[in-house]
Amino acid sequence: MALYEHVFLARQDLTAQQVEELTAQYTGVIEQGGGKVTKTEYWGVKSLNYRIRKNRKAHFTLLNVDAPSAAVKEVERQQNLSEDVIRNMTIRVDELEEGPSAMMRRDGPRRSRDEAPAEGGAA
């Protein structure tokens, strides 16, 4: 079976509970197709860079999937028909990332745009 990272964006007016139900529904579709979801991450509500179907924000969810391509295509088909899912993307990967994804990690302290760069900055 192939390994995939699948991200979908749900409408901003859904509750977190409704997004969890959607995730459970799509996980069930993958399991019926002979695959399994190895990791699920809910990234929360984030602002979009541009409007998608009149939405400025969306709920982001990541699924790491080990499944045949037919199961993944069925999930994508159902998401394309759903009015609650505004966008989805599936990428085939060589290996699934262990631990938290880059969106969930906090690599050191973040600085604001107004702060001057540390040493070596342009004068």
Structure tokens at 70: 């037919």
Q: Where are the alpha helices (DSSP H) in the chain?
A: 16-32, 69-81
Q: For residue 35, is it within any domain?
A: yes
Instruction: Flag whether pLDDT at 3 surpasses 60.
Output: yes
Q: For residue 37, is it within any domain?
A: yes
Between 9-23, 31-45, 94-108, the lowest mean confidence (pLDDT) is in: 94-108
Global confidence as pTM: 0.80
Q: For residue 114, is it within any domain?
A: no
Structure tokens at 30: 């993958």
Query: CB–CB of 80/14 below 8 Å?
Result: no
Q: For residue 78, is it within any domain?
A: yes
Residues 6+ apart with CB under 8 A from 8: 22, 26, 60, 61, 63, 79, 85, 87, 88, 89
Strand partners, 46: 58
- Domain boundaries, position 87: 2-93
Q: For residue 98, is it within any domain?
A: no
* Mean pLDDT, the chain, whole residue set: 87
18: domain CATH number is: 3.30.70.60
Q: For residue 65, is it within any domain?
A: yes
Q: For residue 39, is it within any domain?
A: yes
List, for residues 43-95, the tens digit of each pLDDT value. 999 999 999 989 999 999 999 999 999 999 999 999 999 999 999 999 999 99
Structurally, the chain folds into a number of domains equal to 1
Q: For residue 13, is it within any domain?
A: yes
pLDDT band at 120; cut points 50, 70, 90: low
